[in-house]
């Protein structure tokens, strides 16, 4: 099995960490560090890593001013509790980027919103078939 660890640059790791925990319906906790945190699924799978801008001299994470956060990146999450996630998403943002709709390519429901750093987050229903 192969897994990816998507790492995004964020201004405030704790704020973003709690935002993603809220979106995914996870209990609130603190990230391991003030400069880095991993959002994990119940089975320990890494869903997303949050890295504070400018720490550790990573060339692509030096500053959000070098490029617009999210340009060329779509954070795409499939969830098994779509309606509940949608409800939580509506509490996190004043307006969704894309209202729930059926994706004709996958025949699944999906919606989109922006996270606190401006990343475009697409949430898709995990189709059990």
pLDDT digits (tens, 9 = 90+) for 56-108: 777 677 777 777 766 668 899 999 999 999 999 999 999 999 999 999 888 99
Question: CATH no. for residue 77?
Answer: 3.10.180.10
1, part of any domain: no
36 three-state secondary structure: strand
Sheet harboring 98-103: ordered strands across?
A: 75-79, 120-125, 108-114, 98-103
- Domain extent, residue 14, equals 7-125
């Amino acid at each position: 099995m192969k897994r990816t660890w998507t790492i995004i640059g964020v201004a405030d790791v704790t704020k973003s960490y709690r935002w993603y925990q809220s979106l995914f319906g996870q209990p609130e906790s603190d990230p391991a560090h003030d400069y880095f945190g991993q959002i994990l699924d119940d089975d320990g799978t890494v869903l997303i890593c949050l890295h504070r801008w400018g720490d550790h001299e990573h060339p692509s994470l030096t500053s959000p001013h070098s490029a617009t956060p999210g340009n060329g990146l779509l954070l795409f999450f499939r969830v098994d509790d779509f309606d509940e996630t949608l409800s939580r998403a509506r509490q996190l943002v004043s307006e969704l980027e894309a209202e729930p709709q059926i994706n004709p390519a996958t025949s699944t429901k999906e919606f989109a919103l922006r996270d606190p750093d401006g990343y475009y987050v697409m949430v898709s229903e995990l189709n059990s078939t």
